[in-house]
């Protein structure tokens, strides 16, 4: 079974629509990204792709959704991540040494280092909408897809061979 690692940016953008307070151009781009993230998560579930969720992603998703929406929604999302059949929560012990190596080599944030390290350790495709994380992952030789670079048609055609570049 193929494995992918989802970054919190994809999960949060699938759940929350962008604010209308953004400039027109940015709002339209973020609304399109919201649609892409929702479709991607649906496709991963339909195809029973094993989705690896690093434990720090749970923490980040809980914090961001609580801050941008409310605790009740954050708790529902976390519960869904914990109970969805093809999602696997991976705890830091499995890849913490690699996370330190990633941080030292790339200067990425701590959360990003854990996410990149899990992708590298499990040889799993990383899906993110975080451009700096994408660059750092490539620097570490990780296969990565930047969500904003996919079209809705690309996602619709997905059969998990999300071809990407290391």
What homologous superfamily is domain 3-156 in, according to CATH? Answer: 5'-nuclease (3.40.50.1010)
- Alpha carbons 96 and 33: distance in angstroms, whole number: 30
Residue in the structure block whose two tokens are 């529902």 = 76
Q: What is the pLDDT averaged over residues 91-118?
A: 96
Q: Give φ, ψ of 109 to 5 degrees.
A: -65, 165
Q: Tell me the sheet residues that pair with 126.
A: 5, 144
Q: Is the pLDDT of residue 163 over 90?
A: no
> What integer pLDDT is reported at residue 160 of this predicted model?
57
Residue 104 Cα distances to 13, 64, 75, 127, 150, angstroms: 28, 26, 33, 22, 30
Say what the pTM is: 0.90
What whole-number percentage of the chain has pLDDT above 90?
A: 84
pLDDT band at 159 (very low <50, low <70, confident <90, very high): low
Q: What is the pLDDT of residues 37-86, one digit of tens each?
A: 999 999 998 888 999 999 999 999 999 999 999 999 999 999 999 999 99
Q: What is the pLDDT of residue 157?
A: 81
Cβ neighbourhood burial of 121 (10 Å; 0-12, 13-18, 19+): middle
Q: Rounded distance, CA 53 to CA 7, Å?
A: 8
The share of the chain scoring above pLDDT 70, in percent, equals 95
Which residue stretches of 47-70 are H helix? 55-68
* Band (158; pLDDT cuts 50, 70, 90): confident
DSSP line for 18-53: PPTTS-HHHHHHHHHHHHHHHHHHHHHHHTT-EEEE
Please provide the average confidence, as pLDDT, over all residues in the chain. Answer: 92
CA distances from 105 to 5, 110, 131, 138, 165 (A): 20, 12, 17, 12, 19
**Residue 150 phi, psi dihedral angles, 5° rounding:** -90, 145
How is the chain split into domains, by residue range?
Answer: 3-156
């Amino acid at each position: 079974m193929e494995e992918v690692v989802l970054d919190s940016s994809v999960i949060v953008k699938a759940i929350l629509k962008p604010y209308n307070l953004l400039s027109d151009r940015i709002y339209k781009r973020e609304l399109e990204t919201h649609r892409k993230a929702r479709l991607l998560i649906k496709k991963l579930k339909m195809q029973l792709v094993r989705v690896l969720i690093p434990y720090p992603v749970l923490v980040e998703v809980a914090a961001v959704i609580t801050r941008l929406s409310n605790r009740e929604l954050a708790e529902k999302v976390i519960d869904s991540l914990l109970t969805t059949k093809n999602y696997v929560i991976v705890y830091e012990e499995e890849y913490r040494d690699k996370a330190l190596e990633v941080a030292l080599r790339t200067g990425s944030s701590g959360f990003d280092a854990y996410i990149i390290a899990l992708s590298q350790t499990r040889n799993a495709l990383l899906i993110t909408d975080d451009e700096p994380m994408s660059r750092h992952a490539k620097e570490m030789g990780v296969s990565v897809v930047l969500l904003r670079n996919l079209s809705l048609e690309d996602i619709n055609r997905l059969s998990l061979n999300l071809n990407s570049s290391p």
